[in-house]
Amino acid sequence: MSRHGLHAVLAASAVALCCGRIVQKGPTKDAVTALLQTEAAAMKRDGEKLDPNLGVKATWTIHAVEVQEQAGNDSQPFKGMVRFRINSLTEEPTGPVETNFERTFNYAYDAKLGKWLFKP
């Protein structure tokens, strides 16, 4: 094969490789989901830290972590939701009182900051 023919084959191969790839700008859905799961774990840890003098013991269980793409929204390409089931145990004079409830927290992934932001 001549030098010119070899260059043509290499150039065609390079173009084929480049055109076959989808260029991902920004993080992947899997990457931001992992970040939201980390955020949920931190919320669980902080939610269970109560002053023992209050007489309340709370157990936060992560029930769901969901991430959805927001097509066309380059500044916030993903929205997320974390749902907890919370069990609260309080010692009352009449005995222990148990309360169970759910809390949902909504987030948006800020592409410029590279992190999840709480959405009230």
H helices then E strands: how many in the chain? 2, 4
Q: In this predicted model, what pLDDT tens digit does every residue of 65-113 receive, in sequence order?
A: 999 999 999 999 999 999 999 999 998 889 899 999 999 999 999 999 9
Structure tokens given for 91: 């010692």
Which residues on adjacent β-strands are paired with residue 95? 92
- Which phi and psi (to 5°) does residue 118 adopt? -70, 135
Q: What is the pLDDT of residue 23?
A: 52
Instruction: Quote the pLDDT of residue 17.
Output: 45
Q: Which residue has the higher pLDDT, 21 or 45?
A: 45
Q: What is the rounded distance in angstroms from the CA atom of residue 67 to the CA atom of residue 32?
A: 8
Q: How confident is the model at residue 24 (pLDDT cuts 50, 70, 90)?
A: low
pTM of the model: 0.75
Average pLDDT, the chain: 85
